[in-house]
């Protein structure tokens, strides 16, 4: 078995570079990233002083209205929820009419393909590294132009031992991140970016199984585009698993990656990237300072940060397959981290360059703002709906203004169902009535995650809740 820890000369692109350890006790900084340019100042600061004052004034005004005119307060809250849900519903319906993203050309001579770096940050993933290495080995790209950097944390002896037991291909290098804070995925990605030799770079997660020709499609799209095309997002598809949480995940991902993102890309609007399978021009990524290490949804942030600097985002057609959480104990912290990160990103870009662009602001509101609002509102609206239905059945009269939110939730469910139907068909996934009906139970669960996210945003804004992964049991869609 080849020893993955030995010093070896890089075979990358046929260059005779200085020997680089396949794994080092600490990742050195041979090519420091530039300081982030003027604009959004980063998630290390949760809210600015002006934002804190504004939030306090809004809270105080709301409390006064609630105390003096509770009926008016209810109407205002209901109107806000109504506007948000109708906007989200309309966005999904219109997006479902936009043509799907089709896989592009994957041809081209190997000799002219650009060098490509794969960054794979891992932490406590011993159970799935075998599947990961197998998936990386299936990537169809010239090996002399391919570099895969697996980044481990210093205390992750279990994953390191699991990698040692594997026969790693020569293009795979294992790095150990130097100790430091915050200990997050984006920080590990930045350390790997310093070692990246490719003109293009893609981020994959431990559980990913990308289409073997995905890199070729992305390289062809970058070659056909101008220098402003900075990032291409591949669709993420959940492997077929009939259990409740995976089925709901598959429905969500179908709407997001098969319907919404292709539409936003066609309209020329920035959008929040997925946490994996985003392909970048390295020059553009370095120009914006890499990922924000303090943002727990660095993927959502980097898309808007690139757009604020005048870069474009787009999508490609060849997918990456992922398993979904199967237990609520795994789903809840992951979803809370996503909601918290979206709130971080909203705060950062509301005070930065993106909000200064009408198109950027519109995209921010249509994606992250609506997502955060709906995740907090689902539980409240569900309770109102149950109470209104009970009141109507017992006394023949509605509970008051909030009773109309039951119809609002039905409208949102219908829009999501239609967009989900389109998305699932595009993804080649099964369409089952029980999964659409299950959304009525699944949506209120998001409010539990949102409550946890709000608490963490105040107490532990940069905490990264680890998502546990087990060997896959599902299968890719047809």
Q: Per-residue pLDDT tens for 233-254? A: 999 999 999 999 999 999 999 9
pLDDT at 471: 76
Instruction: Choose among 411, 407, 387, 408: nearest CA to 399.
Output: 387
Q: What is the mean pLDDT of residues 112-134?
A: 95
Check pLDDT > 90 for residue 219: yes
Between these two residues, 116 and 183, which has the higher pLDDT value? 116
pLDDT at 384: 61
Q: What is the mean pLDDT of residues 145-161?
A: 95
Q: What is the mean pLDDT of residues 153-171?
A: 93
Alpha helices in 196-281 (DSSP H): 214-224, 244-253, 261-266
pLDDT at 388: 61
Q: Cα torsion at 102, 107, 110, 115 (round to 10°)? A: -20
CB count in 10 Å sphere of residue 385: 22
pLDDT at 456: 94
| Residue 371: C-alpha distances to residues 31, 88, 148, 441 (Å) | 37, 8, 33, 17
| CA pair distance 356, 363, nearest whole angstrom | 12
Instruction: Using pLDDT thresholds of 50, 70 and 90, give the confidence band for residue 27.
Output: very low
Report domain extents, the chain. Answer: 1-24+74-478
SS3 418: helix
SS3 211: coil
Q: Tens digits of per-residue pLDDT, 187-202?
A: 999 999 999 999 999 9
Q: Which is it for the CA torsion 9, 144, 213, 262, positive or negative?
A: positive
Instruction: Using pLDDT thresholds of 50, 70 and 90, give the confidence band for residue 77.
Output: confident
Q: What CATH number was assigned to the domain covering residues 1-24+74-478?
A: 3.90.550.10
- 32 burial level (CB within 10 Å; 0-12, 13-18, 19+): exposed
Q: Which is it for the CA torsion 458, 365, 332, 119, positive or negative?
A: negative
pLDDT at 39: 45
pLDDT at 389: 61
CB 151 within 8 A of CB 121: yes
Check pLDDT > 60 for residue 450: yes
Between these two residues, 1 and 253, which has the higher pLDDT value? 253
Instruction: Using pLDDT thresholds of 50, 70 and 90, give the confidence band for residue 356.
Output: low
């Amino acid at each position: 078995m080849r020893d993955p820890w030995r010093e070896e000369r890089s075979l990358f692109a046929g260059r005779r570079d200085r020997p680089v350890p396949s794994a080092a006790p600490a990742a050195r900084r041979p090519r420091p990233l530039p300081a982030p340019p003027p604009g959004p100042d980063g998630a290390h600061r949760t809210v600015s002083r002006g934002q804190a004052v504004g939030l306090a004034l809004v809270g105080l005004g709301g409390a006064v209205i609630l105390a003096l005119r509770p009926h008016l307060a209810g109407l205002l809250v209901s109107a806000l929820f109504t506007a948000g849900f109708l906007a989200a519903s309309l966005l999904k319906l219109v997006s479902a009419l936009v043509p799907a993203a089709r896989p592009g050309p994957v041809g081209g001579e190997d000799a002219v393909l650009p060098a490509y770096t794969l960054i794979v940050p891992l932490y406590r993933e011993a159970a799935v590294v075998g599947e990961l290495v197998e998936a990386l080995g299936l990537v169809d790209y010239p090996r002399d132009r391919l570099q895969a950097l697996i980044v481990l944390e210093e205390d992750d002896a279990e994953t390191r031992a699991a990698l040692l037991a594997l026969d790693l291909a020569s293009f795979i290098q294992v790095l150990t991140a130097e100790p430091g804070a915050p200990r997050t995925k984006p920080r590990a990605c930045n350390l790997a970016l310093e070692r990246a030799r490719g003109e293009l770079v893609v981020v994959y997660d431990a559980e990913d199984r990308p289409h073997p020709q995905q890199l070729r499609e992305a390289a062809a799209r970058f070659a056909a585009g101008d220098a402003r095309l900075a990032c291409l997002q591949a669709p993420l598809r959940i492997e077929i698993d009939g259990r409740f949480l995976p089925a709901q995940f598959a429905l969500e991902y179908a709407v997001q990656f098969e319907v919404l993102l292709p539409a936003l890309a066609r309209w020329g609007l920035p959008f929040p990237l997925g946490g994996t399978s985003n392909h970048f021009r390295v020059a553009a990524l370095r120009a914006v300072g890499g990922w924000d290490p303090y943002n727990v949804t660095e993927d959502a942030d980097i898309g808007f940060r690139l757009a604020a600097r005048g870069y474009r985002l787009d999508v490609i057609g060849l997918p990456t397959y992922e398993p979904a959480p199967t237990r609520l104990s795994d789903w809840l912290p992951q979803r809370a981290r996503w909601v918290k990160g979206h709130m971080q990103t909203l705060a950062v870009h509301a005070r930065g360059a993106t909000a200064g662009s009408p198109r950027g602001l519109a995209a921010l509101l249509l994606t992250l703002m609506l997502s955060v609002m709906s995740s907090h509102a689902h539980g409240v609206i569900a309770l109102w709906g149950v109470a209104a239905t009970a009141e109507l059945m017992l006394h023949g009269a509605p509970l008051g203004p909030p009773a109309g939110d039951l119809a609002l939730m039905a409208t949102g469910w219908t829009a999501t169902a239609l967009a989900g139907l389109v998305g699932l068909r595009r993804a080649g996934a099964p369409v089952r009535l029980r999964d659409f009906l299950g959304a009525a139970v699944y949506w209120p669960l998001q409010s539990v995650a949102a409550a946890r996210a709000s608490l963490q945003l105040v107490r532990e804004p940069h905490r990264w809740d680890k998502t546990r992964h087990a060997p896959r049991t599902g299968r890719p869609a047809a």
